[in-house]
Structure 1
Amino acid sequence: MRLPVSIAVLAAGALLSACATSGGGAPATPYTPTFSTERLSEDARILSDDSFEGRGIATPAEQKVVDYLSAQYAAAGFQPGGPNGQWTQDVTLNRFTASNIRAGFTAGGETIPLTQGEQIVISTRLPGDHVHLMNKPLVFVGYGIDAPERQWDDFKDVDVRGKVIVVLVNDADFEQPELNTFGGRAMTYYGRWTYKYEEAARQGAAGVIIVHETAPASYGWATVNNSWSGPQFDIVRANAAAERAPMEAWLQRHVAVDLFRRAGLDFEALKVAARSRDFRPVELTGVTFNGMFDVASTQVVTHNVLARLPGTTHPDETVLYTAHWDHIGVGSPDADGDAIFNGAVDNATGTAGLLELARAFGAGPRPERSIVFISFTAEESGLLGSEYYASNPVYPLATTVGGFNIDSMNVYGRVNRYGITGYGQSDLDERIGAVVESQGRTLQPDANPASGGYFRSDHFPLAKRGVPMTYGGSTGDFRDEPIAERQATRSEYGRSRYHQANDEWSPNWDLRGQVEDLQVLYTVGSALANSREWPQWKDGSEFGPARAPTADQRR
Structure 2
Amino acid sequence: MRLKSILVSTTALLCLAGAAHAQQADPARLNEHTRVLASDEFEGRGVATPGEQKTVDYVVSRFQALGLEPGGPDGQWVQVAHLSRTQQAGPATITATVNGQVRTLERGPQILVASDRPVDRITLTDVPVVFAGYGVDAPEKGWDDFKDVDVRGKIILVIVNDPDFGAPEGHPVAGRFDGNAMTFYGRWTYKFQEAARQGAAGVLVIHDTAGAGYGWSVLEGSSTAPDFDIVRANWEAERVPAQGWIQGDVAEQLIRDAGLDYARLRYQARSEAFLPVELPGVTMSMDFGQTHATIESRNILARIPGSEHPDETVLYGAHWDAYGRATPQNGDDIYNGAVDNATGVAAMIELARMFKAGTPPERSVVFAAWTAEEAGLLGAEYYAANPVWPLETTVANINMDSFLPGTEVSPEVVVIGAGKSETDRWVERRATEQGRRLIPDPAPQAGGFYRSDHFPLAKMGVPAVFAAAGFTGHNAASRDYVQNRYHKPSDEWTPDWVMDAAAVDVNLLYAVGRDLADSREWPQWNEGAEFEAARAASADRRR
TM above 0.5, one fold? Answer: yes
Structure 2 match to 1:243? 238
How many Å apart are 1:16 and its aligned residue?
A: 5.4
Is the Cα contact below 8 Å between 1:177 and 1:184 reproduced in 2?
no
Structure 1 match to 2:189? 194
Q: How does 1:262-301 map to 2 (within 5 A)?
A: 262-301=257-296
How many Å apart are 1:475 and its aligned residue?
A: 4.3
Q: 2: distance between equivalents of 1:163 and 1:446?
A: 37
Matching residue's letter, 2:220: N
Is the Cα contact below 8 Å between 2:131 and 2:278 reproduced in 1?
yes
Structure 2 match to 1:140? 131
1:370 aligns with 2:364: yes
Task: Give the ranges of 4+ consecutive aligned residues of structure 1 lying more than 4 Å apart after TM superposition.
Answer: 6-12, 15-18, 475-478
How many Å apart are 1:9 and its aligned residue?
A: 6.7
Is the Cα contact below 8 Å between 2:442 and 2:472 reproduced in 1?
no
Matching residue's letter, 2:244: A
Matching residue's letter, 1:209: L
Q: 1: distance between equivalents of 2:261 and 2:224?
A: 29
How many Å apart are 1:498 and its aligned residue?
A: 0.4
1:93 aligns with 2:83: yes
CA shift digits 1:179-233 (9 cap, x unpaired): 1111211111000000000000000000001111011000111111123332211
Q: 2: distance between equivalents of 1:488 and 1:318?
A: 37
Q: Select 1:439's aligned residue among 434, 440, 451.
A: 434
Q: Select 1:104's aligned residue among 79, 88, 95.
A: 95
Q: Please say which of residues 135-144 and 148-157 is displaced more in the overlay.
A: 148-157
Q: Please say which of residues 454-463 and 101-110 is displaced more in the overlay.
A: 101-110
Q: 1: distance between equivalents of 2:482 and 2:373?
A: 18
Is the Cα contact below 8 Å between 1:7 and 1:35 reproduced in 2?
no
Q: 1: distance between equivalents of 2:66 and 2:439?
A: 32
Q: How does 1:37-436 map to 2 (within 5 A)?
A: 37-99=27-89, 100-176=91-167, 178=169, 179-334=174-329, 336-412=330-406, 413-436=408-431
Q: Please say which of residues 264-273 and 462-471 is displaced more in the overlay.
A: 264-273
Is the Cα contact below 8 Å between 2:159 and 2:206 reproduced in 1?
yes
Q: Select 2:521's aligned residue among 518, 529, 533.
A: 533
Matching residue's letter, 2:432: E
Is the Cα contact below 8 Å between 1:416 and 1:476 reproduced in 2?
no
How many Å apart are 1:11 and its aligned residue?
A: 5.5
Q: 1: distance between equivalents of 2:332 and 2:142?
A: 48
Matching residue's letter, 1:410: L
Structure 2 vs 1, CA of residues 438 and 10 (structure 1 numbering), >3 Å: closer, same or farther?
Answer: same
How many Å apart are 1:108 and its aligned residue?
A: 2.2
Is the Cα contact below 8 Å between 2:310 and 2:364 reproduced in 1?
yes
Q: 1: distance between equivalents of 2:471 and 2:44?
A: 30
Is the Cα contact below 8 Å between 1:9 and 1:34 reproduced in 2?
no
Q: 2: distance between equivalents of 1:477 and 1:182?
A: 23
Is the Cα contact below 8 Å between 1:346 and 1:408 reproduced in 2?
yes
SS at match of 1:224: helix
Structure 2 vs 1, CA of residues 153 and 549 (structure 1 numbering), >3 Å: closer, same or farther?
Answer: same
Q: Select 1:490's aligned residue among 463, 466, 478.
A: 478
Structure 1 match to 2:505? 517
SS at match of 1:237: coil
SS at match of 1:375: strand
Q: 1: distance between equivalents of 2:300 and 2:150?
A: 44
How many Å apart are 1:104 and its aligned residue?
A: 1.1
Is the Cα contact below 8 Å between 1:210 and 1:250 reproduced in 2?
yes
How many Å apart are 1:295 and its aligned residue?
A: 2.9
Structure 2 match to 1:507? 495
Structure 2 vs 1, CA of residues 157 and 305 (structure 1 numbering), >3 Å: closer, same or farther?
Answer: same
Is the Cα contact below 8 Å between 1:9 and 1:32 reproduced in 2?
no
Structure 2 vs 1, CA of residues 115 and 476 (structure 1 numbering), >3 Å: closer, same or farther?
Answer: closer
SS at match of 1:474: coil
Matching residue's letter, 1:541: A
Q: 2: distance between equivalents of 1:120 and 1:113?
A: 10
Q: 2: distance between equivalents of 1:508 and 1:230?
A: 29
Is the Cα contact below 8 Å between 1:117 and 1:229 reproduced in 2?
no
Is the Cα contact below 8 Å between 1:164 and 1:208 reproduced in 2?
yes
How many Å apart are 1:73 and its aligned residue?
A: 1.1
Is the Cα contact below 8 Å between 1:56 and 1:62 reproduced in 2?
yes
Is the Cα contact below 8 Å between 2:351 and 2:510 reproduced in 1?
yes
Is the Cα contact below 8 Å between 2:222 and 2:487 reproduced in 1?
yes
Is the Cα contact below 8 Å between 1:7 and 1:515 reproduced in 2?
no
Q: 2: distance between equivalents of 1:158 and 1:50?
A: 50
How many Å apart are 1:511 and its aligned residue?
A: 2.2
Aligned length: 528
How many Å apart are 1:513 and its aligned residue?
A: 2.0
Q: 2: distance between equivalents of 1:16 and 1:41?
A: 20
CA shift digits 1:11-69 (9 cap, x unpaired): 65xx8544xxxxxxxxxxxx411211111111111101001000000001111000000
SS at match of 1:339: strand
SS at match of 1:34: coil
How many Å apart are 1:128 and its aligned residue?
A: 1.8
Matching residue's letter, 1:238: A
Q: 2: distance between equivalents of 1:151 and 1:295?
A: 39
Identity among equivalent positions (%) equals 51
Structure 2 vs 1, CA of residues 84 and 250 (structure 1 numbering), >3 Å: closer, same or farther?
Answer: same
Matching residue's letter, 2:462: V
Q: 2: distance between equivalents of 1:138 and 1:227?
A: 26
Matching residue's letter, 1:359: R
Q: Please say which of residues 286-295 and 375-384 is displaced more in the overlay.
A: 286-295
CA shift digits 1:111-149 (9 cap, x unpaired): 111121111111111122221100000000010001111
SS at match of 1:332: strand
Is the Cα contact below 8 Å between 2:471 and 2:478 reproduced in 1?
no
How many Å apart are 1:488 and its aligned residue?
A: 3.8
Matching residue's letter, 1:147: A
Q: Please say which of residues 537-546 and 31-40 is displaced more in the overlay.
A: 31-40
Matching residue's letter, 1:97: Q
How many Å apart are 1:489 and its aligned residue?
A: 3.5
Is the Cα contact below 8 Å between 2:470 and 2:478 reproduced in 1?
no
Matching residue's letter, 2:35: R
